[in-house]
Structure 1
Amino acid sequence: MENFQNLRVYQLSEKLANEIWFIVINWDYFAKDTIGKQLVKSTDSIGANIAEGNGRYNLQDNQRFVKIARGSLNETRHWLRLAYQRKLLTQDQIDKIKPIIDELSPKLNAYLNSLKSKSEKN
């Protein structure tokens, strides 16, 4: 098993989580307490699940955690849409976040597919 910190998919999830954190930290209390907490939790969950899955020595468990990470990415998209619609995000912030998500999403799928290929060989 490769160290999760060396995985590009993990590095992207960490980059996204940190970008979100430094945006939300500047919101007012109400926005932080509602959308902000949910957004930070869902974004942090992407990398956390990649890390946890990588720590499992069973490929099926690892696949399950990557699927959870993919679900957390979709949840993050939901919260980002609401935050933008509610004027909590600027276009500049979206322009900074979107390329990370656009790279992360297919990388998560590719990572899952590589784990499936490995489990089929075993």
Structure 2
Amino acid sequence: MKTYRDLFVWQKSMDLVILVYEKTKQFPKEEIYNLTSQIKRSVVSVPSNIAEGYGRNSTGDYIRFLQIACGSLYELQTQLEISLRLEYLSAENYDKLTSISIEIEKMTSSLISKVKSSQK
């Protein structure tokens, strides 16, 4: 692997960023500095932390940043559910975004396990 850009989990999380930005355009304007902003920060944090961790010279740091990316995914999933309950997101959009975020969560967890096992 030459760069973090080669990581499928990073690529998939970048795609999720674009989808989330598209879907939050439909949110009420009064949410722009509240829930919309929180959702965008959470989703952007995922590929950002994957990339930052990859760039560290420490396996421990890499794992820590991957764990932070997972935390951002949990935060995003919670915010998406709030958006569904407030009827800012349709059930279809919620299911799509949540499904992708869970897939990325599993991929990130798998990568953490792989990095941990390579430490031994």
- TM-score, normalization by structure 1: 0.91
Contact 1:46 1:73 (C-alpha < 8 Å) held by counterparts: yes
Between stretches 105-114 and 94-103, larger displacement belongs to: 94-103
1:34 aligned residue:
34
2:81 aligned residue:
81
Gaps of 5+ in 1: none
1:69 aligned residue:
69
| Cα distance in 1 between the residues matched to 2:115 and 2:81 | 30
Contact 1:21 1:40 (C-alpha < 8 Å) held by counterparts: yes
1:91 Cα deviation after fit: 1.7
After TM superposition, list the pairs within 5 Å mapping 1:1-122 onto structure 2: 2-120=2-120
Contact 1:46 1:69 (C-alpha < 8 Å) held by counterparts: yes
Gaps of 5+ in 2: none
- TM-score, normalization by structure 2: 0.93
Contact 1:50 1:66 (C-alpha < 8 Å) held by counterparts: yes
Once the two structures are superposed, residues 23-43 of structure 1 have per-residue CA deviations (whole angstroms, 9 ceiling, x without a partner) of 112322212221100001001
| Cα distance in 2 between the residues matched to 1:95 and 1:71 | 19
Between stretches 96-105 and 38-47, larger displacement belongs to: 96-105
Superposed CA RMSD: 1.3
1:105 Cα deviation after fit: 1.3
